[in-house]
Structure 1
Amino acid sequence: MSTTQIDRLRELLGPLAAQRGLDLEEIAITPAGKRRVLRVVVDSDDGVGLEACAELSRAVSQALDSSDAMGGAPYVLEVSSPGAERPLTAPRHYRRATGRLIRAHLHEGGELTARILTADEDGVEVEVPGPKGRSTDGRPGTARRVAFADIARARVEVEFSRKAGAAGPGSGAAIPDESQKEA
């Protein structure tokens, strides 16, 4: 059974993230001139701060230095949290976006823009706003249950004037590795 480079990196880096209470969300390698960029995206229920990204970046750098997982070509390491408009692809993503506004495209067609109230392993409770963000009688929007099986794709919506008290994940800023690996 052969494994891809991403699979080998996931095996190497997954435990490093887990030791720090982080979920390894994504690993991507993209060409950048004569180098490659290795992007490692991590998240947690409490969000990911800059210090956590920097600490993981140092650990990942050491692990890569002592393995051949990146081969001999030069690369740049970036460790970051997910961006503000990240796609929601797993129940934990919806749980972490509680209080946030999302836009979901449904399998049956149509689009739903709503605020996440709660999420579990099967679906999400959302508040669907009425006209101008309120229901017709002036109360907040209508609560609705949506099963994950009914959602084709969903993404967090960026809000510039966010609802007071709404919780949300960190900034999503990337922390490049200061060593700028040269092999």
Structure 2
Amino acid sequence: MSNIQAEIEARLAETEPEVEVLLAEVVGGDLVRLFIDHPQGVSLDLCERVTLQLPELRERYALEVSSPGTQRPLSKPEHFRRYVGRKAKVRTREAKDGHKTFTGELLNATDDTVTVAASTGVVSIAYADIHRSNLVGD
């Protein structure tokens, strides 16, 4: 998890405790793209409230807050565990078995690794080696 994501999670834990930060990423050096979820869904009003709760961040970056959509980002072990059995795309920082992208069914998610049944075979990937991951439609 990035430092920026940890900073956002700490701030929102105080002000919007039901908001789950799925992914916070710096894009192009001047934009933070923030994907959030909420038990009652993500509304425009919620996105606006979250934006207003992050004034220090808005001083340093442009901020884009949105719902996860169908290609929901997966960035924590609990995200992967929640969607075992679903299809996901996992991109690694470095090539593993000659590949950097693995798309297939999530078979297992421990505290350290996720296992994917990709077209190249079953592969276990350490979370530290994952660059980006998200659910994909069937």
Which letter maps to 1:70? R
Deviation digits for residues 84-129 of structure 1 (CA, Å, limit 9, x no counterpart): 4466443233224323223445533235432013312122344456
Q: Determine if contact 1:107/1:152 at 8 Å carries over to the other structure.
A: no
1:158 Cα shift? 3.1
More strand per residue:
2
Alignment of 1:96-135 (within 5 A): 96-104=82-90, 105=92, 106-110=95-99, 112-128=102-118
Which TM-score applies when normalising by structure 2?
0.55
Aligned to 1:70: 58
Aligned to 1:146: 124
Unaligned 5+ runs, structure 2: none
- Paired AA for residue 109 in structure 1: G
Within 5 A, what are the aligned runs for 1:163-178? none
Amino acid at match of 2:83: A
Secondary structure in 2 aligned to 1:58?
Answer: helix
Rounded to whole Å, the distance in 1 between the matches of 2:73 and 2:80 is: 10
Residue 108 of structure 2 contacts residue 116 of structure 2 at CA under 8 Å; is this kept in 1?
Answer: yes
State the distance in 2 between where 1:40 and 1:153 align. 16
The one-letter code sitting in structure 1 at the alignment partner of 2:48 is: S
CA deviation map 1:147-176 (0-9, x unaligned): 4269554533633xx3xxxxxxxxxxxxxx
Whichever residue aligns with residue 15 of structure 2, its letter is L
**Count of aligned pairs:** 130
Uncovered stretches (5+) of structure 1, i.e. residues with no partner: 131-141, 163-183
User: How much has 1:77 moved relative to structure 2?
Assistant: 5.8
Alpha-carbon distance in structure 1 between the residues aligned to 2:15 and 2:57: 15
Would you say 1:93 and 2:79 are equivalent positions?
yes
Q: Is the 8 A contact 1:123 1:145 kept in 2?
A: no
Q: Is residue 103–residue 157 contact of structure 1 (8 Å, CA) maintained in 2?
A: yes
Question: How many percent identity over aligned positions?
Answer: 25
CA RMSD in angstroms, aligned pairs only: 4.5
> TM-score normalized by structure 1?
0.45
